[in-house]
Amino acid sequence: MKRVKITVIRKAEYTDLMELYENPIEHACNMNEGDVFICEGWEKPMGFCSSAWDSVSQFVMALSYGATDIYDGWMKEKNTVMISCNDGFRPVSFLLEALEEEAV
């Protein structure tokens, strides 16, 4: 299995939707743009958001087992995927990259 690098690319926040629909939450998302996580195979990295993991894990698994061109030509690099978490109030976009090194 390959290692997979997850980079936080963008973090959005829809305060208008939060004001209308969300109960106040402290520290709903502790990720920051530029944060990097390395997956050893299909294992959730330490400190990675569990809810975001639900959104990205199937793609991490596919890349770790050697899948390429998951979006059929959409991505410039065949060993990458761009995925966002499922938080409708503060979505986070992640770039997933299969690395050449094998998982430990």
Give 104's pLDDT tier (boundaries 50, 70, 90). Answer: low
Q: In the predicted model, what is the mean pLDDT of residues 4-33? A: 92
pLDDT tens column, 53-103: 999 999 999 999 999 999 899 999 999 999 999 999 999 999 999 998 776
Burial of 37 by CB count in 10 Å (0-12 exposed, 13-18 middle, 19+ buried)?
buried
- CA gap 69, 49 in Å, rounded: 26
Supply 39's token pair: 């997956």
pLDDT of 39 above 70: yes
Task: Give me the percent of the chain exceeding a pLDDT of 70.
Answer: 98
Average pLDDT, the chain: 92
Its domain, for residue 33, covers 2-102
Give the pLDDT of residue 27.
Answer: 78
> What is residue 21's predicted lDDT score, i.e. its pLDDT?
96
Query: Which residue type occupies 41?
Result: G
Q: Domain count of the chain?
A: 1
In what side-by-side order are the strands of the sheet with 36-39? 36-39, 2-11, 92-102, 80-84
